[in-house]
Structure 1
Amino acid sequence: MNIDWSLLIAAVGLALVFEGIPYFLFAERMPGLLARLAIQPPKFLRFVGLVAIILGLLIISFGRSLSL
């Protein structure tokens, strides 16, 4: 298996950009949102994480189908 390091680094950079957007745009609201997330039960957080993983995989699959 040959790893394309430039693609991996670009993907990590893009993930950081997307992670940073809500903090930049909604800086005043983020502490309240994070506090509400902190009191959620683990089952809910796992569900949200699973949904994020599935959406991410669908987006990756869609993007790869465009480049074929």
Structure 2
Amino acid sequence: MEIALLALGLVLIVEGLAWALAPSIIEQLLEALRALPMDQRRLLGLTALAVGIFCVWVAKTLGA
């Protein structure tokens, strides 16, 4: 349970930093995402999921 809480906290830190430091860039990114077809957004999400799983696997392999 504490690992899930840690992961959620880290995601919120990264998201919060992005919104605090560059809100206009985030708005531009959201507009660009809205312009993509649904299939491309889904593929982007699946790619992000795969990269995230890979990062967790590497971290676990290295002893985290």
Q: TM-score range by the shorter chain?
A: 0.7 to 0.9
Pairwise CA RMSD of aligned residues? Answer: 1.6
Q: Say which structure is richer in helix.
A: 2
Q: Which amino acid aligns with 1:43?
A: D
1:19-66 Cα deviation digits (max 9, x unpaired): 223222321222122112112101110111011001000000000001
Q: TM-score, normalised by structure 1?
A: 0.79
Q: TM-score, normalised by structure 2?
A: 0.83
2:18 and 2:44 map into 1 onto residues whose CA distance is 17
- Bigger Cα Rg: 1
**1:60 aligns to what?**
56
Structure 1 unaligned residues grouped into runs of 5+ = none
Structure 2 unaligned residues grouped into runs of 5+ = none
SS in 2 for 1:29: helix
